[in-house]
C-alpha cells in the first residue's frame, strides 16, 4: 500500500516534471520513464490520465502543449488510456483546440497556435486509427470538421492521393514501355541488321587499315632500337606519338580513315540505342517472355561485339573524336599549342620554349578573337605561328593595354565635352535673358583649355578593400567556418584555399600544375623545387599530425563530458521521487525550492515578456532571502528591545 | 443479475418485478452506442425527435434548417465494419414545394399509424404529411411561430393537433376538417409546450412563457386548473391500481370525495416496481381537493394568476401512467406535479442548467423511474422520486434540445434506446452497455447483430428472448 502510493506519486511527479519545461518537446528520457512506469500497472495509468487531464486545465499553453504530447504518446499505446481519455474528449478538445468562445486558449499566443494545430492533427490521427472503436472520437472529429469547419491536415487523404498519383505515373510509364516494346518487336530484325552491317563494315575497314599499318609500322620499328618497344604499352605510346604524322602522310589511307570515322560515329550512336533497348527490355513486363529473352540476349551479344570493335579501333590508335575535331580546324587547335612542345620536347631548344610561353599567354586573347588567319596545319612552325599571332592581334592587344591603363570615372555631364578641342560660346545658353548690366557679347567664347581647366575632376583615393576570404574549415556541427581573418584563423590555423567540403586544396595538385613549367627549367631548379616540395610535405604532415592529436584529444574530452552528463542525468532521474516530492511540498507550503522556482520562472517568463521595475523591486524586496533577512533583523531588534527592557529576565 | 435469476427460478421473485428489474438495469447502463450511427442529414440543430408509437421503428426528426427526416432505427442502411449506419429513409426540406420555410420546431407522428406525420414550424404553418408520398395533405396557418404540436395517443373520437404558438391562444387543429376546432385562451404569453394527458383523451396540458401550466378539458370552455408552485405536497400519493387510476383521472368529480389526509411516502420504497404489482390500496388522495369543486368553469382569479415556474415553461412530460407531470422551466428547474391534486411534489432535481430559449423535450423511462432531461450539452437521467442524478450522458458538443426514450414492448422487439438531438446537428443513439448483464447482453447482442443484417424475423427473436426469460411476456400492465 505504502509502496503503491509512492509509485503513484512518482507517475504524477514525472508527468509534472515533463510538462514543466519551456522546450518544444517532452524530454525523451522523462517520456520513457513515464511510459515504463505506466506500463506496469493500470492504477498508475489511471492516475496518469487524471493528472494529465488536470494539467490540461493549467492556465498556460506551454504546459497544455507538453501535456498533449504526453497524452498522444500514451493514447497511441494503451487501450485503457484511450477509453479514459475518450470519456472526457469534449473537455480535452475544449482545452486544446479552444473552440468554445468562452474558453479560449491561455496566454503565450505562439504556443497556443501550435497547441491548436497539434491537437487537430492528433485528433485526426486518433480518429483514423481508433475512430471505429470510439463513437466519441468520431463525434468530436465530425463536429470539428463539419460543424466548426476547422482545417484538418488530412494526412491520410493526402498520402492516399500521392500514392494514387504515383500509381498513375507508373502505369503511364509502363504503357510507354510497352509501346516501345511493341515497336521493337515490329522492327527488331531491321535494327539488328543495320547494326550488324555497320559492324561488318567497320571490321572490314579495320582489316584494311590494319594490314597497311602493320606494314608501315614494322618498318620504322625495325629502324629504331628494337629493345625499347617490346612491351605493348611502350608501343602504344609510340603509336600515339606517331599517330598525327600517320594520318596526314598517306592520302590513300585517309579515305578509309574517313569512312572509319563515320562508322565510328554511327557505332557510338548504335551503342546508345542498344543501351536504351536493353533497359526497355529489362523494365518491361510483357507477356511475351520468350521474345523478350531472346531479344535481350541478342542485344547483349551485339553490344559486346560493338564494344570489342570499339576497343579494337582505339587500340589501333585512332582517337576518332580528337581527330574529328582536328579536321574541323576550329579554335581548339590552339589548345594543342602548349601540349605539342611538351610531347616532343627533346627536339626543341630552350629558347623556343620561352617564345612558346609567350604564345601561351596571349592565346587566351587570341582564342576569342577571329583567328581565321591561323588556319595552318599542325605542321606549321612555332616561330611562324608566333609572328602571325603578333601581327594579327596587335590592334586588339593595344586596345587592351590602353583599357588597362584608362582611369575609371563616374558618369556625368562633363563627359559631353570630354576631349573636345572646340571653343564654347559663353552666352548661348538657350535662355533669352534681358540683361540689365549693359550689352551682351553673344559671340564671346570660352577657349577649350579653359573648359578643360574648369572640368578638372578631383578624385579621391579609395582604398579598395581586399576581400577577406572566410576560413571555410569544416566545423564539427556541420557547415564551414564563416570567420574572416586576414591570415590566421584563431580556431583553424592559417587560412588556405579550400574546396566546397572544407578540405584544403591539395598542395600536391598545385605542385603538379607547376611541375610541367618547372620541368622545362633547368635541373637545378627542379632539384630545388623537389627539396622545397619535400620540406613542405614534411611540414604539412607534422601539422596534420598535431592537428589529429588535438582533434583526438578534443573528441576524448567530449566523450568524457557526455558520459558525465549522462551519469548526472541518471542520478537526477533516480532521485526524482524523493527530491521533487520534497520540492512539491515546499512549493505548496510557500516558496519553492531553487529548482522549482527556476522552472516556474521559465514558464512564467513565456507569459510575461517584459519585467517591469516594479516586478524587479518586488522580487528584490519580497524574495525569500530578503524577507528572511528582514525577519531576522526584526526579531533581533525585538530581542534587543526585550533585553533592554527586562535586563534581568533572560 | 445472477441472483435475480436464481430467485426467479426459485419463485421468490415475481415475473413482473423480475422483468422490470432487468429493464431498469439496462436503462441505468445507457451509454453512447458505438455500433449504431444515425447519419444526420440536417444542417441545423435538431429540435424534435419521436419514434412512432405503433411499431417503435421509425424515428422522425425535425431540425431548424426546415428539414424533417425519417429513419429506420431497426434496419441499417449500410454498415462500416461493426458500425451500422442509419441513413434517413427520406427527408423533406426547403426544396420541397410545400416544405417549411423556417425552422421546424416540432415533428410528431400521427399516433395511430405511421401513414401521417405532423410538422410545426416557425413559418407559422403546421403541415400534415403523407409519409408514403411525402406530400402535404393538410396545411394550417397559425397566427404566430409554432413552438410545439401534440396529438393525443389515446384519442379515439377526435384527431386534434394541439399547437402551442407565439400567440397567447392555444389552437386545436382538426385534421379531418382541416380547420381550427378550438381556440383556448387563458395564457398571457406564448405557449412553448403542449402535452395531452396520458389518462384522458379530452385533457390537454399547456405550459406558457408566462410560467403557467394550464389544464384544459376540451369538451368545456376555459381551463379548469392552473398549477401553482406554492401548493405542494411531500412525496407521492399512495399507489392505486391502474384501473381505478384511469377512472379517477377521467372523472374529476371524484376528487372532491377524497379525504383530507395527506399521505407522504418515502419515495425510494417504490422504486423499480411497476405499480400494478402493488396491492391496490384505499386510493386516498391529498387534501387540497376540497376546494376544487367550484373552480371550473369559473376559476378563481387568484388561482388564475398562479405560476408554476419563474419564467417560461419550456417542457412538459406526462408520465406513462398519466398520474404525474414533469415540467421544465427557464428558471433551470425541473418540477414534478401530481396531476390529480395539482400539487408540486417538491422533488428536488439536482442542480443543473437548462436551455432557456427553446422548447425542450423530456423523456421518461417506461416504468417512470427515470427522467431524461437535456441539460445544456448533456442529457441527465434523474431518479423520478428522489431527484438524484443517476446518469450523465455527455456526447453532444452543443446544447441538447430533445430526447426520446424508446422502450421495449411486450415482445421485446424494439431496442431499448435513447435518442437525443442537439444543436450540433447530431442525433445520437444511447443504448444499454453490452457488458451490463451477461445473459441479457449475449441474447440482446446476438439479436441486435442479426437485426442489423436483417436476416431473421423480429417476432421469432422475441420468442427466443421470451424463452430465456419466460415471463417477459406478462410484464406490461400499463402500456
Relative to beta strand B417-422, strand B400-406 is antiparallel
pLDDT tens track for A544-559: 888 889 999 998 888 8
Which residues touch A499 (CB under 8 Å, ≥6 apart)? A505
Minimal CA separation from A34 to chain B, in Å: 30
A251 is a domain residue: yes
A390 is a domain residue: no
**Domain span at A116:** 10-153
A556 is a domain residue: no
> Which residue, chain included where needed, has cell 581573418?
A485
- The answer to whether B426 contacts A133, with C-beta atoms less than 8 Å apart, is no
Run of H or E including B193: strand B191-196
**Lowest mean pLDDT across A337-351, A598-612, B399-413, B423-437:** A337-351
Residue B61 clears pLDDT 90, i.e. is over it: yes
Q: By the 8 A CB rule, do A469 and A484 touch?
A: yes
Note whether A191 and A270 are same-domain residues.
yes
Confidence of residue A358 (pLDDT cuts 50, 70, 90): very low
- The answer to whether B377 contacts A90, with C-beta atoms less than 8 Å apart, is yes
Note whether A202 and A122 are same-domain residues.
no
Relative to beta strand B324-329, strand B333-338 is antiparallel
The C-alpha atoms of residue B22 and residue B416 are separated, in whole angstroms, by: 11
Note whether A193 and A98 are same-domain residues.
no
Q: Provide mean pLDDT across the span A302-308.
A: 86
Of B34, B397, B425, the CB nearest to A135: B34
A477 is a domain residue: yes
pLDDT tens track for A637-647: 998 888 888 87
Of A310, A205, A221, the closest CA to residue A257 belongs to: A205
Residues in chain A: 650
A interface mutation test: which of B377, B397, B435 has the most A CBs within 10 A?
Answer: B397
Note whether A21 and A149 are same-domain residues.
yes
Residues in a beta bridge with B343: B338
Angle at A517 between CA A516 and CA A521, to 5 degrees: 110
Reported pTM? 0.55
Residue B280 clears pLDDT 70, i.e. is over it: no
* Chain A residues near residue B33 by CB distance under 8 angstroms: 135
Note whether A196 and A143 are same-domain residues.
no
Task: Tell me the three-class secondary structure of A475-489, residue by residue.
Answer: CCCCCECCCECCCEE
> Which residue, chain included where needed, has cell 620541368?
A519
Of B81, B394, B424, the CB nearest to A147: B424
Minimal CA separation from B285 to chain A, in Å: 46
Residue of B nearest to A148 (CA): B424
Note whether A128 and A206 are same-domain residues.
no
Of B82, B377, B428, the CB nearest to A132: B82
Note whether A137 and A195 are same-domain residues.
no
First to last CA, chain A: 50
pLDDT value of position A581: 43
**Lowest mean pLDDT across A378-382, A474-478, A603-607, B174-178:** A378-382
> B236 by DSSP, 3-state: which?
strand
pLDDT tens track for A269-298: 888 888 888 888 888 777 777 888 888 888
Q: By the 8 A CB rule, do B370 and B380 touch?
A: no
* Chain B residues near residue A143 by CB distance under 8 angstroms: 397, 424, 426
pLDDT value of position B162: 92
* Chain B residues near residue A140 by CB distance under 8 angstroms: 397
Check which CATH number belongs to the domain holding A290 and give it: 1.20.58
Q: Provide mean pLDDT across the span A330-358.
A: 43
Structural domain count, chain A: 3
Percent of chain A with pLDDT over 90: 1
Minimal CA separation from A90 to chain B, in Å: 7
Angle at A583 between CA A580 and CA A589, to 5 degrees: 150
A88 is a domain residue: yes
Residue of B nearest to A137 (CA): B395
Residue B255 clears pLDDT 80, i.e. is over it: no
Q: Provide mean pLDDT across the span A211-238.
A: 54
Last residue of a domain, one of A479, A499, A519: A499
Confidence of residue B120 (pLDDT cuts 50, 70, 90): very high
Alpha helix segments (H runs only) across A374-415: 382-392, 394-405
Residue of B nearest to A145 (CA): B424
- The answer to whether A132 contacts B83, with C-beta atoms less than 8 Å apart, is yes
pLDDT value of position A563: 83
pLDDT value of position A220: 46
Residue of B nearest to A141 (CA): B397
Note whether A83 and A193 are same-domain residues.
no
Q: By the 8 A CB rule, do B299 and B226 touch?
A: yes
Note whether A149 and A101 are same-domain residues.
yes
Confidence of residue A239 (pLDDT cuts 50, 70, 90): low
Percent of chain B with pLDDT over 70: 75
Q: By the 8 A CB rule, do B16 and B477 touch?
A: yes
Residue of B nearest to A140 (CA): B397
The better pLDDT of the pair A196, B235 is held by A196
Last residue of a domain, one of A135, A153, A171: A153
Residue A139 clears pLDDT 60, i.e. is over it: yes
- The answer to whether A143 contacts B397, with C-beta atoms less than 8 Å apart, is yes
Note whether A25 and A146 are same-domain residues.
yes
Of A132, A136, A143, the CB nearest to B81: A132
Last residue of a domain, one of A300, A316, A332: A316
B interface mutation test: which of A88, A139, A140, A144 has the most B CBs within 10 A?
Answer: A139
Of A133, A136, A147, the CB nearest to B32: A136
pLDDT value of position A226: 47
- Measured CB to CB, residues of chain A less than 8 Å from chain B are 90, 132-136, 138-140, 142-143, 146-147
Check which CATH number belongs to the domain holding A115 and give it: 1.25.40.90
- The answer to whether B424 contacts A90, with C-beta atoms less than 8 Å apart, is no
A293 is a domain residue: yes
Relative to beta strand B36-38, strand B83-86 is parallel
- The answer to whether A140 contacts B397, with C-beta atoms less than 8 Å apart, is yes
Q: By the 8 A CB rule, do A495 and A487 touch?
A: yes
Minimal CA separation from A278 to chain B, in Å: 48
Measured N-to-C along each axis, helices A394-405 and A350-368 cross at an angle, to the nearest 10 degrees, of: 80
What's the mean pLDDT when you consider all of chain A?
A: 73
Minimal CA separation from A66 to chain B, in Å: 25
Relative to beta strand A493-494, strand B363-364 is unpaired
pLDDT value of position A459: 76
Of A133, A139, A147, the CB nearest to B395: A139
A577 is a domain residue: no
Of B34, B80, B394, the CB nearest to A133: B34
Note whether A205 and A137 are same-domain residues.
no
B interface mutation test: which of A79, A85, A128, A147 has the most B CBs within 10 A?
Answer: A147
Note whether A302 and A196 are same-domain residues.
yes
pLDDT tens track for A212-221: 655 555 544 4
Residue A166 clears pLDDT 90, i.e. is over it: yes
Q: By the 8 A CB rule, do B419 and B429 touch?
A: yes
Of B56, B196, B181, B160, the closest CA to residue B113 belongs to: B56
* Chain B residues near residue A139 by CB distance under 8 angstroms: 395, 397, 426, 428
A1 is a domain residue: no
Amino acid at each position: 500500500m505504502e509502496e503503491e502510493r509512492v509509485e503513484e506519486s512518482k507517475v504524477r511527479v514525472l508527468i509534472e516534471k515533463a510538462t514543466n519545461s519551456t522546450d518544444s518537446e517532452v524530454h525523451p528520457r522523462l517520456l520513457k520513464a513515464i511510459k515504463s512506469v505506466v506500463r506496469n500497472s493500470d492504477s498508475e495509468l489511471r492516475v496518469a490520465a487524471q493528472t494529465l487531464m488536470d494539467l490540461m486545465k493549467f492556465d498556460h499553453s506551454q504546459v497544455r502543449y507538453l501535456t498533449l504530447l504526453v497524452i498522444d504518446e500514451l493514447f497511441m499505446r494503451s487501450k485503457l488510456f484511450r477509453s479514459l481519455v475518450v470519456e472526457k474528449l469534449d473537455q480535452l478538445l475544449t482545452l486544446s483546440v479552444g473552440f468554445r468562445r468562452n474558453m479560449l486558449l491561455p496566454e503565450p499566443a505562439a504556443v497556443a497556435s501550435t497547441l491548436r494545430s497539434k491537437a487537430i492533427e492528433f485528433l485526426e490521427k486518433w480518429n483514423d486509427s481508433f475512430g471505429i472503436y470510439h463513437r466519441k472520437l468520431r463525434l468530436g472529429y465530425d463536429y470539428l470538421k463539419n460543424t466548426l469547419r476547422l482545417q484538418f491536415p488530412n494526412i491520410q487523404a493526402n498520402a492516399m492521393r500521392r500514392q494514387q498519383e504515383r500509381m498513375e505515373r507508373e502505369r503511364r510509364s509502363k504503357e510507354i514501355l510497352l509501346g516501345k516494346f511493341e515497336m521493337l518487336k515490329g522492327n527488331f530484325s531491321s535494327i539488328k541488321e543495320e547494326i550488324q552491317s555497320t559492324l561488318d563494315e567497320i571490321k572490314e575497314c579495320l582489316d584494311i587499315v590494319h594490314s597497311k599499318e602493320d606494314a608501315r609500322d614494322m618498318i620504322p620499328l625495325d629502324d629504331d632500337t628494337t629493345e625499347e618497344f617490346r612491351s605493348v604499352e611502350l608501343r602504344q605510346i609510340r603509336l600515339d606519338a606517331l599517330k598525327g604524322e600517320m594520318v596526314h602522310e598517306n592520302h590513300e589511307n585517309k579515305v578509309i580513315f574517313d569512312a572509319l570515322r563515320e562508322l565510328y560515329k554511327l557505332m557510338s550512336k548504335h551503342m546508345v540505342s542498344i543501351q536504351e533497348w536493353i533497359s526497355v527490355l529489362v523494365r518491361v513486363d510483357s507477356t511475351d517472355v520468350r521474345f523478350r529473352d531472346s531479344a535481350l540476349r541478342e542485344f547483349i551479344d551485339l553490344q559486346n561485339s560493338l564494344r570489342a570493335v570499339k576497343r579494337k579501333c582505339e587500340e589501333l590508335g585512332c582517337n576518332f573524336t580528337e581527330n574529328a575535331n582536328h579536321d574541323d580546324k576550329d579554335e581548339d587547335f590552339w589548345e594543342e599549342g602548349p601540349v605539342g612542345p611538351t610531347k616532343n620536347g627533346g627536339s626543341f631548344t630552350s629558347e623556343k620554349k620561352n617564345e612558346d610561353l609567350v604564345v601561351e599567354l596571349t592565346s587566351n586573347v587570341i582564342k576569342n578573337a577571329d583567328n581565321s588567319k591561323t588556319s595552318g596545319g599542325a605542321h606549321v612552325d612555332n616561330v611562324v605561328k608566333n609572328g602571325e599571332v603578333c601581327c594579327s592581334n596587335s590592334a586588339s592587344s593595344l586596345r587592351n593595354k590602353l583599357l588597362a591603363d584608362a582611369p575609371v570615372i563616374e558618369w556625368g555631364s562633363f563627359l559631353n565635352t570630354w576631349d573636345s578641342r572646340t571653343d564654347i560660346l559663353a552666352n548661348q545658353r538657350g535662355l533669352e535673358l534681358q540683361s540689365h548690366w549693359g550689352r551682351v557679347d553673344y559671340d564671346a567664347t570660352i577657349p577649350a583649355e579653359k573648359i578643360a581647366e574648369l572640368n578638372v575632376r578631383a578624385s579621391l583615393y579609395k582604398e579598395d578593400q581586399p576581400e577577406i576570404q572566410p576560413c571555410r574549415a569544416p566545423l564539427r556541427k556541420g557547415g564551414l567556418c564563416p570567420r574572416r581573418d586576414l591570415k590566421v584563423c584563431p580556431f583553424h590555423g592559417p587560412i588556405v584555399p579550400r574546396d566546397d567540403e572544407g578540405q584544403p586544396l591539395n598542395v600536391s595538385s598545385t605542385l603538379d600544375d607547376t611541375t610541367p613549367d618547372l620541368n622545362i627549367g633547368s635541373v637545378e631548379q627542379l632539384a630545388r623545387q623537389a627539396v622545397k616540395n619535400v620540406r613542405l610535405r614534411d611540414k604539412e604532415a607534422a601539422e596534420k599530425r598535431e592537428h589529429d592529436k588535438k582533434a583526438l584529444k578534443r573528441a576524448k574530452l567530449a566523450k568524457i563530458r557526455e558520459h558525465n552528463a549522462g551519469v548526472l542525468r541518471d542520478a537526477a532521474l533516480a532521485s526524482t521521487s524523493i527530491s521533487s516530492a520534497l520540492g512539491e511540498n515546499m512549493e505548496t507550503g510557500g516558496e519553492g525550492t531553487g529548482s522549482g522556482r527556476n522552472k516556474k520562472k521559465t514558464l512564467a517568463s513565456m507569459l510575461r515578456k517584459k519585467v517591469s521595475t516594479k516586478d524587479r523591486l518586488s522580487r528584490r524586496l519580497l524574495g525569500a532571502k530578503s524577507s528572511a533577512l528582514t525577519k531576522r533583523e526584526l526579531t533581533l531588534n525585538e530581542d534587543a528591545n526585550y533585553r533592554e527592557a527586562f535586563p534581568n529576565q533572560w | 443479475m445472477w441472483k435475480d435469476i436464481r430467485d426467479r427460478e426459485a419463485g421468490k421473485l415475481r415475473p413482473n418485478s423480475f422483468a422490470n428489474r432487468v429493464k431498469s438495469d439496462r436503462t441505468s447502463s445507457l451509454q453512447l452506442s458505438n455500433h449504431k450511427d444515425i447519419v444526420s442529414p440536417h444542417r441545423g440543430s435538431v429540435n424534435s425527435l419521436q419514434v412512432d408509437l405503433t411499431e417503435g421503428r421509425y424515428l422522425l426528426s425535425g431540425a431548424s434548417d426546415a428539414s424533417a427526416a425519417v429513419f429506420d432505427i431497426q434496419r441499417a442502411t449500410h454498415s462500416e465494419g461493426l458500425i451500422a449506419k442509419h441513413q434517413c429513409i427520406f427527408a423533406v426540406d426547403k426544396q420541397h414545394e410545400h416544405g417549411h420555410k423556417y425552422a421546424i420546431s416540432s415533428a410528431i407522428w400521427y399516433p395511430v399509424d405511421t401513414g401521417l406525420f405532423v410538422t410545426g414550424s416557425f413559418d407559422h404553418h403546421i403541415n400534415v404529411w403523407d409519409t408514403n408520398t411525402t406530400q402535404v395533405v393538410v396545411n394550417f396557418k397559425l397566427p404566430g411561430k409554432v413552438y410545439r404540436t401534440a396529438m393525443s395517443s389515446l384519442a379515439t373520437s377526435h384527431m386534434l393537433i394541439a399547437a402551442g404558438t407565439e400567440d397567447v391562444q392555444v389552437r386545436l387543429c382538426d385534421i379531418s376538417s382541416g380547420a381550427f376546432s378550438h381556440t383556448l385562451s387563458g395564457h398571457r404569453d406564448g405557449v412553448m409546450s403542449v402535452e395531452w394527458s396520458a389518462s384522458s383523451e379530452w385533457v390537454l396540458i399547456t405550459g406558457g412563457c408566462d410560467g403557467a401550466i394550464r389544464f384544459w378539458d376540451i369538451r368545456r370552455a376555459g381551463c379548469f386548473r392552473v398549477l401553482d408552485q406554492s401548493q405542494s405536497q411531500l412525496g407521492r400519493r399512495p399507489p392505486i391500481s391502474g384501473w381505478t387510476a384511469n377512472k379517477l383521472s377521467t372523472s374529476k368529480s371524484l376528487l372532491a370525495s377524497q379525504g383530507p389526509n395527506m399521505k407522504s411516502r418515502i419515495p425510494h420504497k417504490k422504486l423499480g416496481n411497476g405499480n400494478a404489482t402493488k396491492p391496490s390500496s384505499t386510493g386516498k388522495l391529498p387534501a387540497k381537493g376540497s376546494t376544487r369543486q367550484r373552480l371550473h368553469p369559473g376559476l378563481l382569479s387568484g388561482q388564475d394568476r398562479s405560476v408554476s415556474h419563474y419564467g417560461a415553461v419550456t417542457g412538459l412530460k406526462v408520465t406513462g401512467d398519466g398520474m404525474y407531470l414533469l415540467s421544465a422551466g427557464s428558471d433551470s428547474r425541473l418540477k414534478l406535479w401530481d396531476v390529480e391534486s395539482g400539487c408540486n411534489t417538491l422533488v428536488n432535481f439536482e442542480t443543473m442548467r437548462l436551455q432557456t430559449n427553446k422548447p425542450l423535450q423530456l423523456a421518461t423511462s417506461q416504468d417512470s423511474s427515470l427522467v431524461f432531461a437535456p441539460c445544456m450539452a448533456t442529457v441527465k437521467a434523474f431518479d423520478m422520486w428522489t431527484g438524484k442524478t443517476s446518469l450523465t450522458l455527455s456526447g453532444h458538443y452543443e446544447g441538447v434540445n430533445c430526447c426520446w426514450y424508446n422502450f421495449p414492448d411486450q415482445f421485446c422487439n424494439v431496442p431499448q434506446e435513447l435518442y437525443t438531438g442537439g444543436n450540433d446537428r447530431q442525433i445520437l443513439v444511447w443504448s444499454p452497455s453490452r457488458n451490463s448483464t451477461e445473459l441479457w447482453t449475449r441474447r440482446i447482442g446476438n439479436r441486435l447483430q442479426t437485426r442489423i443484417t436483417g436476416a431473421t424475423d423480429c417476432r421469432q427473436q422475441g420468442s427466443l428472448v421470451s424463452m430465456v426469460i419466460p415471463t417477459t411476456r406478462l410484464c406490461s400492465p400499463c402500456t
